[in-house]
Amino acid sequence: MNQYVDFRKLKVGEALPTRVNPPLTKLQLVRYAGAAGDFNPIHTDDAAAKTSGLGGVIAQGPLIMGFAGKAVCQWVPKRRLKKFKVRFMGMSFPGDIITVSARVAENLDTRDGLKIRCDITARDQNEEVKLTGLFEVLQA
């Protein structure tokens, strides 16, 4: 059973609990490629990735977005989530440990309830930003 965040108690600037993912694996990238139908070899074949100027395979951006989405769904019930969008900022590689964090950016009373906007960020173990974005919650 999930213990969601009580957004009514949070003030602007307050952080939500961070979510740390296990290290990315090549197998995870291959599985994601199959599930998403994204067979670009830069995600699954080191030689092809190196030919493309990369040091090796890189994770699919939407996989990292999925980590962020999983964190959001651990903080808030899906029925209260009204918006979720991200911008990809950097590449992720096997072995990277992706940590997702969020901070309350705005609380706004509306006729439908309390609307809370949070800024979200995913970083690796070196604090390099992999994505930024936001999500909005409607707390009745």
Q: pLDDT tens-digit profile of 92-123?
A: 999 999 999 999 999 999 999 999 999 999 99
In terms of Cα–Cα distance, which of 120, 133, 126 is closest to 88? 133
User: pLDDT of 9-67, one tens digit each?
Assistant: 899 999 999 999 999 999 999 999 999 999 999 999 999 999 999 999 999 999 999 99
Q: Where are the domains of the chain?
A: 13-24+61-139
> What pLDDT is stored for residue 1 in this prediction?
55
Phi first, then psi: what are they for 111, rounded to 5°? -70, -20
Question: Which fold would CATH assign to domain 13-24+61-139?
Answer: Thiol Ester Dehydrase; Chain A (3.10.129)
> What pLDDT is stored for residue 63 in this prediction?
97
Strands (E), the chain: 19-20, 81-88, 99-110, 113-123, 129-139
Phi first, then psi: what are they for 60, rounded to 5°? -70, 135
Q: In what order do the strands lie in the sheet with 113-123?
A: 19-20, 99-110, 113-123, 129-139, 81-88
